[in-house]
Each structure stands twice: as C-alpha cells, then as structure tokens.
Amino acid sequence: MKALVFIEQRNNVIKKSSYETVRAARDVADALDAECIALLVGSGVESIGGTLGRYGASRVLIVDDPALAAHSGTAYAKAIASVAAAEGAELVFLPASQMGKDLAPRVAVKLKAGLASDCIALRVEHGTVIGTRPVYAGKALLDVRVNSAVKVFTLRPNVFPATIAEANVGVQNATVTFSPEDFGAVVTKVEVVVGRPDVTEADIVVSGGRGMKAAEHFSLIESLAEVLGAGVGASRAVVDAGWRPHDEQVGQTGKTVSPSLYVACGISGAVQHLAGMSSSKYIVAINKDKDAPIFQMADYGIVGDVFEIVPELTAQLKQMLGK
Amino acid sequence: MKIAVCVNHVPDTETKVKIAADGQSIDRTGVNFMMAPYDEIAVEEALRMRDKFKGDVTVISLGNEKHKETLRKALAMGADKAILVRDDSERDSYGVAVGLAAALKPLAPEVILFGKQSIDYDDAQVGTLVAEMLGMPSVSVAVNIEIQDGKAVCVREIEGGHEIVEIKLPAVFMAQKGLNDPRYPSLKGIMAAKNKPIEEQVAAPADRLVETLAMSKPPAKAAGRIVGTDKTAVPELIRLLHEEAKVI
Ligand SMILES: Cc1cc2nc3c(=O)[nH]c(=O)nc-3n(C[C@H](O)[C@H](O)[C@H](O)COP(=O)(O)OP(=O)(O)OC[C@H]3O[C@@H](n4cnc5c(N)ncnc54)[C@H](O)[C@@H]3O)c2cc1C
Ligand SMILES: Nc1ncnc2c1ncn2[C@@H]1O[C@H](COP(=O)(O)O)[C@@H](O)[C@H]1O
C-alpha cells in the first residue's frame, strides 16, 4: 500500500503544515505497512525536497515544470491525481491550508475518492484509517471512514506535531504533461503581509474585541503580539465596526485557529467566537466582567481592565524575553 | 449572464449542539435553521453581478422540504428562480455535489457561486467538487471578483495575504466574508417571494463515500483559574504561562 502526501511550497519554501502532514501520514503508513511518498509540485523545487525524508517521507517525487511556477489549482490538482494514479496510492494526504483545501476536492473527484476534510486526529483500526474532524464549528467531533478505494484526507494545520526522526532522502522526477486547458485558473500575483504571522499559522495569537473601545487602541494588541511573535486576531464585532480587517476575524464566520496560546482581550466569548478558537491549547482571557463566557473557556483569566493589564503584560514580557 | 447560486440550510450559529440518540448526528429538536452565512454573501454577489451584466439568478438547494425556507429567503433578497433538488437522506459532500452538478448542468450558467463553507459539517468542499465535476475552474475563499471579457480576476485569501487569480468563464466562485455585505430582504421582496414558484427536482443518485461512525462532544475543559483582578496578577500569569503551560 502507498500513501501520497502533497507538499505545499510557496516561493520554494515548504510550509510547516506540510511537514506536519508528512509526519502524520508516515505514522498512518507505518501502522498499515505502507510506503509514505511526498510529492512536491512547482518549478525549481528539486533542491528543497531532500529534507522531507527527515519528517517521514520514504521517497520524494517532484513534478517540476516552469509552467507550475505560478500556482494553478486546476493544474496542481492534475499533477497530484496523475501521480497518485501512476503510483497506485490508496491514501492521499494534503494539509488543510488554503492551498490544500482548494486542491483536495479536485483530486478527490479525479480519483473517485471520498474526502475527509480538516482532520484533527487519525488512527488505524482493522486496516483502515479513521479520521476525526470537528463539525458545527468544533461543537462536536465526527469520526469518519472513507469507503472508496482511494481515500483523501486533509489535516488541520498546527494540530499534528512535525517531529524530525529519519534522514534526508533523494528526490525523483515524476512526469506529468500539461496542456493549456489545464490552466483554467492561474495565480498572477501573491501579496503577503510580511512581519506578522497569519492567525491560522501562528503559534501564539493575541486577539482584541469590542472591549478595546476604538481602532487606535489596537496598538496595545499589536505591541503585545510583537513581543510574543504572535498573530493578531479580532472578534467579529470589531471587524464589523471597521476597526480591523476581515482576514483577522476569528470564529465561526472567520478563521479557525489552534495556536498553543490564545490571548483574548476585551472579548466576551460569544459561541460564534469560541467556535473559532476553542481548540487552542491554552487560553488566556482578560475581561473586566467576571461573568463573561470567555472565562469558562480560559485556562487563566484576569478580571480587569485591558487598558491596565495589556500594557503591563507587554512591558513585563518584554523585559523577560529581552526584547 | 446566467448566474446560479447554491445555498445550504443549516442550524443557526447559536445552536447548542446535543448528540442525537443514533450517536451520529445532532438532536434537531428546538434547533433553528437558516441560510448558511457565507451563502448569503454568495447570493448578494450574484444579485450585484446580475444588476451589472443583466441576466438572471437561479438559487439551488439540495435537501428536504425545509430547504424551501432558505430558497424563499434568497428569492426575497432578489433572486429570480429557485430549484429544490429534493433529497430526504443525509448525503455526504460528494453526494451533495453529484446532485447539485446534475441540476446545474442543464442550466449552463456562466457563473456559479457557492459559500466558502457550510457551517454544519464545515467541509468547505462542495463548491470545488462541483467545479471539477463540471470541468470548470474555480476560486475558493474569494474576497473580490471582477468579471470582464469572458474572464474574471479575483482576490483570494491565503495565509497572511492574498493571491490574485485569473480565471476563465464559465467558472465557480466561493464567497468569503469581505466579498460584500449581504442585504436584508425588503418587505417588498418578501411579499414578491411568496408568489415566486420553487421548482422541484429529484436529486441524482449518489454513493456515500464518507461514512460517519460516531459523533461525540469534544472533551470538556477543566474550569480555568482566575489569576487576579488587576495588574498585580501579571507576574503570576507570566509564571503560569512559562512554567505550567510552557507556552512562552
Ligand atoms: C451568524 C453569526 C456569525 C458570527 N460569527 C462570528 C465570528 O466568526 N467571530 C466572532 O467573534 N463573532 C461572531 N459573531 C458575533 C458574536 O455573536 C458576538 O457578537 C461577537 O463575538 C462579540 O464580539 P466582542 O466579544 O468583541 O464584543 P462584546 O460581546 O461586546 O464583548 C466585549 C467585551 O469586552 C469587555 N470589556 C469592555 N471594556 C473592557 C475593558 N476596559 N477591559 C476589559 N474588558 C472590557 C466586556 O466585558 C465584554 O465582555 C457571529 C454572530 C452571528 C449571528
Ligand atoms: N445541500 C446543499 N444544497 C445547496 N448548496 C449546498 C449544499 N451543501 C453545501 N452547499 C454549498 O456548498 C458550499 C460549501 O459547503 P460545504 O462543502 O458543505 O462546506 C456551501 O456554502 C453552499 O454554497
């Protein structure tokens, strides 16, 4: 049996969520006596593939084509499905990143496979993989089994560990030929905000809510985030008020985050907000209302004024972390 | 321009989830259902496209009789036609996509809109599945769509930034928050919607590829600790984060 893992690279840098996915796929492959093959798609990606062995890939394949320098969902999906078919892979894993979520359904249709999306745990029982995935915004968990011959899984970023164990391995070419029709959608430009990590990838997230009172007070949130190397999040109330951009919204109609530490400042903890951050490993709440629902979710809370606590926390952390 | 929008009818975001006796689904008693929030954004975008390019908007939902409520809301917002693709069973996303693709094909829309994800099973896959089944390109998590000369230029949200995607029509788009602010149905719209017919079709059959084994509640969190009530609590908070949680 073979498992194929799609590796996301941007500007020829492999994303952490892809290392997590290889490691998780390797664990599943070991339980099934299967081979774990990593697949890199892009242009000039040969030199970056070797390290995948250290995360558990027993073999690394690349589909390397100048036409693939810019991301194209249609063409990348063809590359993955073609290689999976050529290798006879029964299991296909992708990170549930924005790129992985865009590709997985296309790969699934091409391979007539069922897709278990956004899994947060995988286990092998009686020779089949069972995925656990949050539904209803994390208010319930579903154990699912894919019954088609080929099975596709996407894995939520920041949940599976990316541990290093094995050695580097060599990289081999896989051939896939493309025609112009394969490029129905093509990325022409990528604009990345440099400096601060995105909330879905950050190890620590500092979020602000209506308790921050005004857009300009988010400088307090940003300073705390800066000291911690954290991403900045927001509640919908402040996004709707125009204080923060949409892509910072955490919650049921925003982003789902699973950092090691989530710091909620002036956020009440409405169910729709909790839905997006309840899988954080540790939660800190700072709110002046002791009855705010966020305290039921928090590991540590301070019942107090954000304008007093947040700057003090920033100052003390700065000293401690030597920044 | 022929525009189609697929809309799902899902439990309200306020729903307190209780597991049903079958151990595989939620207890639906007392649960309010509504149009999925991202689907409202998709409907709004469709209406704006129609106003700009002329043509009509057909809304489609696959599910039981109750889905008519959500179709009715889309009609009240201003959609021209509605189709209920009738199916009373619980389909997986693949099955939903098979049914929707079969209903969409004869309409030959130039633009098909979906929400980014339903808020029930949070799959975020039906739109792209349908696109692949119909052989169309697609843009997921679209926060801007500009249509011009048989193609569209879209802004798509990615981790920490945006991608500009060029895409040929006919194409599928999945609406993300930020694309627009959906309108509320006007009283006139609600009245008019009452007289618009909802066409019913039987859903094309589909195999179930993903099987639910069990639904459970996530492990309950132990009660948290209130560290203090003013800034004198800060050193203790930092100590706990450093020594107990080991996250800083
Ligand atoms: C369909 C739907 C989808 C939704 N999706 C989302 C979503 O994705 N994400 C989301 O966040 N919300 C979402 N919501 C909105 C959600 O219901 C809440 O309205 C929202 O989360 C409230 O934001 P908030 O906590 O910032 O504001 P509030 O609820 O107003 O809370 C502000 C908090 O700040 C505290 N506070 C005030 N001043 C201070 C101070 N000086 N110091 C310390 N604390 C202070 C108050 O005690 C209060 O608890 C959704 C709602 C609906 C209906
Ligand atoms: N039963 C359904 N009927 C019509 N559209 C649906 C249905 N289920 C999902 N969709 C559409 O597909 C999108 C993504 O859904 P999902 O893949 O379930 O997260 C939704 O936002 C809807 O636009």
Q: Measured between alpha carbons, how far is B137 from A257 in angstroms, rounded to an integer? A: 28
Rounded to a whole number, what is the distance in Å from the CA of A221 to chain B's nearest CA? 16
Q: Are B167 and B139 in contact (CB under 8 A)?
A: yes
Cis peptide leading into residue B170 (ω within 30°): yes
pLDDT digits (tens, 9 = 90+) for B162-204: 999 999 999 999 999 999 999 999 999 999 999 999 999 999 9
Q: Measured between alpha carbons, how far is B112 from B117 in angstroms, rounded to an integer? A: 15
**What ipTM does this complex have?**
0.94
CB contact (8 A) between residue B230 and residue A304: yes
The number of the ligand nearest the C-alpha atom of B15 reads: 1
User: What number does the ligand 1 atom closest to the CA of A292 have?
Assistant: 49
Burial classification of residue A13, based on how many CB atoms lie within 10 Å of its CB (0-12 exposed, 13-18 middle, 19 or more buried) = exposed
pLDDT digits (tens, 9 = 90+) for B215-244: 999 988 787 899 999 999 999 999 999 999
Q: Which of A133, A143, A200 sits opposite B159 (nearest CB)?
A: A200
Pairing of strands B111-115, B171-175: parallel
Longest dimension (CA), chain B: 68
Q: What is the mean pLDDT of residues B92-120?
A: 97
Q: Measured between alpha carbons, how far is A153 from B123 in angstroms, rounded to an integer? A: 11
- Domain A2-183 sits in which CATH superfamily? HUPs (3.40.50.620)
Task: Sketch the domain layout of chain A as residue ranges.
Answer: 2-183, 204-321
3-state secondary structure of A59: strand
Q: What is the pLDDT of residue A192?
A: 87
Q: Measured between alpha carbons, how far is B161 from A193 in angstroms, rounded to an integer? A: 5
* H-helix or E-strand spanning residue A322: none
Rounded to a whole number, what is the distance in Å from the CA of B189 to chain A's nearest CA? 25
Q: What region, left, alpha or beta, does residue B89 occupy, with left being phi > 0 and alpha being psi -120 to 50 degrees?
A: beta
Instruction: Quote the pTM value.
Output: 0.95
Q: Measured between alpha carbons, how far is A307 from A224 in angstroms, rounded to an integer? A: 12
Q: Measured between alpha carbons, how far is A284 from A261 in angstroms, rounded to an integer? A: 8
Structural domains of chain B, with CATH: 2-202 (3.40.50.620)
List for chain B the helix, strand, coil content (%; round to 5): 30, 30, 40
The number of the ligand nearest the C-alpha atom of B176 reads: 2
CB contact (8 A) between residue A188 and residue B165: yes
Q: Across-strand partners of B19? A: B26
User: What number does the ligand 2 atom closest to the CA of B60 have?
Assistant: 4
Q: A204-321 in CATH: which number?
A: 3.40.50.1220
Q: For the stretch B107-116, what's the b/e string if a residue is b when 16 or more beta carbons lie within 10 angstroms of its beta carbon?
A: eebbbbbbbb
Q: What region, left, alpha or beta, does residue B53 occupy, with left being phi > 0 and alpha being psi -120 to 50 degrees?
A: alpha
CA B192 to chain centre: 25
Intervals of chain A under pLDDT 50: none
Q: Measured between alpha carbons, how far is A316 from B5 in angstroms, rounded to an integer? A: 52
Q: Which residue has the tokens 């979906």?
A: B114
Q: What is the pLDDT of residue B192?
A: 95
Rounded to a whole number, what is the distance in Å from the CA of A293 to chain B's nearest CA? 12
A contacts of B163 (beta carbons < 8 Å): 71, 187, 189-191
Nearest residue (by CA) to ligand 1, atom 23, is A237
A 10 A CB-CB count for A289 gives 13
Q: What is the pLDDT of residue B221?
A: 79
Q: Do you know the residue count of chain B? A: 248
* H-helix or E-strand spanning residue B75: helix B67-77
CB contact (8 A) between residue A115 and residue B94: yes
Spacing, Cα B248 to ligand 1 middle (Å): 26
User: What number does the ligand 1 atom closest to the CA of A209 have?
Assistant: 26
Nearest residue (by CA) to ligand 1, atom 48, is A268
CB pairs below 8 Å between A and B: how many?
279
Question: Is B103 a pocket residue for ligand 2 (Cβ < 6 Å)?
Answer: no
Going from the C-alpha of A136 to that of each of B1, B11, B32, the distances in angstroms are: 35, 9, 14
Q: Across-strand partners of A320? A: none
Residue B156, both tokens: 């798509």
